[in-house]
Chains A and B, each alone.
Chain A
């Protein structure tokens, strides 16, 4: 089911949670709402589910306005951040809940409910725990019960609020992969909220980046990562170096030397140059002087565990982080205290905020 969101506004007292948000969710896609806390992403999700009401604007499902439809009539599966399982019910009864509360005319026979719940529990790999209570399960298991419970009503839309937020790193990775497969099998329009950029980029078909109740950018993970709309998005999507420079006559300069940048340069004045650590190019320092168009830096610390080496450099008093492969590091024979040349493969420049 496609969802259209038009100029949705929501305030809580003096706080603007959503300031006129518009978004089209395509049928069958897996969409991530990504942003820092307080950016309005959860509020937007709750408004889609009908758990909160927008002050203005509209949300429609397949062209039908949802304003008069209560949460329980929307056929939306919602997975809560803390799962919100019914703790006095077994896993089986939790999953069966949505089917058992249906109106008599629509309610499946107990036999069919049983079969459907067993099917769902098999799918989330929990059939052996059907008679347990939520308090007897681990975090990852509770998460899957919550998902099975939401899927039991055959929702048209699946909404997940920070679905992996409360899990440890290993379980989180496994569940992420598993959710992606599940989505590929079922093709339910799904939206999940996260503040973890890695999760959004890895899992989603498209990513919606939000900040201060506004949508900043919408695009595929590659689009938002490679072509961030502004400094906030650049900053939020992974580690970044911020170097204070200037724009002079349409050229970005760092310590007087020109920096090649992607995209628009902007008006003259103080500026911040953004470079991702893996876009920093290091080279062997020549015996004398600094090559044309490059900078010189000293290695101040070095972490070389794992396939990627992380270096902290001192570039004329500024801290600069660089990432390179272990092979490249041994080619350069760098160690703490040694000098190297620095260049930037890709960089962006944004005017400095006053």
Chain B
């Protein structure tokens, strides 16, 4: 494959279909070969091997394990909470980015630095910190308890943990686009009679939408893969607040390697499909005005 690629690259432009469009940039063969080898070693071979191991158990058992109520529910919690958190972040992350870009106020740099904290912190630290606050005996948890509901040890707690870890993705992807926005475009909208709200929905939002979707996709992907911060706050009650990664660890601890591998493979499949879908969505929004 790589050898074929390098020969087509070095040949002058052929008629008809070509593996690579003619380019003056040298080194395609080497760079492409390295890319493939690297991805194979790091991503493809381990994941492929896992899928093969999962295939050992046979289709019937594969589906039996995956479609068990407890596993299905874990999938629902994992993807549902990640999606909810990403959408919440889409709104509030956008507000944070907006405030950081548009206003100059004392402490702006401090807040700017705080945004990145979830990136840097070990997720277990986030988990402990959030649980301490949101548990029924914590500050906010106590208030919630008085109001008659629980935050920690429910899916709500998981959503909060995922909002925490996903927030920087939205802020940091939207921020540069907001910075690049031309003030003149907003002034043009205003002079044409648009209200602030119309300017926001018809002019600003469509401009930042591609970046926002990218941010949401990253936050969502991170949320699906999150483990450390969730296991503390979730309580891990089967069929209530149990996420897929935890279920896999649980199976491993019970020496059920086949079960763990099957669930892991299913998880991988669903994640891949979702990312693929998001990619198409991104392409579609970009194609609407990147021309």
Chain A residues in contact with chain B, CB under 8 A? 49-51, 70-78, 80-82, 84-89, 97-98, 101-102, 133, 135-136, 149-150, 152-153
**Min distance, Cβ B32 to any Cβ of chain A, angstroms:** 31
B-side interface size class: 20 to 34
CA distance A80 to B187 in the complex (A): 9
Contact pick for A88, options B190, B191, B288, CB 8 Å: B288
Q: Nearest 6 pairs between A and B by C-beta?
A: A88-B289, A98-B192, A84-B184, A84-B188, A78-B191, A101-B194
User: Which residues does chain B contribute within 8 Å of A77, judged by CB atoms?
Assistant: 191
Q: Does B6 contact A (CB under 8 A)?
A: no
Q: A86-B203, A87-B207, A88-B207 are in contact. Are A78 and B187 (CB under 8 A)?
A: yes
Q: Does B202 contact A (CB under 8 A)?
A: yes
Residue-wise, chain B 256-291 has the 8 Å CB interface mask toward A (1 for contact) of 000000000000000000000000000000001101
Structural contact, B198 and A101, CB atoms closer than 8 A: yes
User: Which residues does chain A contribute within 8 Å of B106, judged by CB atoms?
Assistant: none
User: Which residues does chain A contribute within 8 Å of B194, judged by CB atoms?
Assistant: 72, 97, 101
**Min distance, Cβ B35 to any Cβ of chain A, angstroms:** 31
Q: Does B128 contact A (CB under 8 A)?
A: no
CA distance A73 to B190 in the complex (A): 9
Main secondary structure of the interface of A (DSSP, over half): loop
CA distance A98 to B194 in the complex (A): 7
Residue ID in chain A nearest B184 by CB atoms: A84
Q: A72-B193, A72-B195, A97-B194 are in contact. Are A84 and B207 (CB under 8 A)?
A: no
CA distance A135 to B207 in the complex (A): 14
Structural contact, B191 and A76, CB atoms closer than 8 A: yes
User: Which residues does chain B contribute within 8 Å of A149, judged by CB atoms?
Assistant: 188, 192
Q: A88-B207, A88-B288, A133-B291 are in contact. Are A97 and B182 (CB under 8 A)?
A: no
Which chain B residues in 145-183 approach chain A with CB under 8 Å?
182
User: Which residues does chain A contribute within 8 Å of B192, judged by CB atoms?
Assistant: 72, 97-98, 101, 149-150, 152-153
Contact pick for B191, options A72, A85, A87, CB 8 Å: A72
CA distance A85 to B202 in the complex (A): 13
CA distance A320 to B202 in the complex (A): 58
Structural contact, B187 and A97, CB atoms closer than 8 A: no
User: Which residues does chain B contribute within 8 Å of A136, judged by CB atoms?
Assistant: 291
CA distance A271 to B194 in the complex (A): 55
**Min distance, Cβ B238 to any Cβ of chain A, angstroms:** 47
**Min distance, Cβ A108 to any Cβ of chain B, angstroms:** 13
Structural contact, B207 and A71, CB atoms closer than 8 A: no
Q: Does B72 contact A (CB under 8 A)?
A: no
Kindly list 5 other residue pairs between chains A and B, CB separation below 8 angstroms, not including A97-B192, A101-B193.
A49-B191, A72-B192, A84-B182, A84-B184, A101-B192
Which chain B residues in 189-248 approach chain A with CB under 8 Å?
189-195, 198, 202-203, 206-207
User: Which residues does chain B contribute within 8 Å of A135, judged by CB atoms?
Assistant: 291
Most buried by A among B191, B194, B288: B191
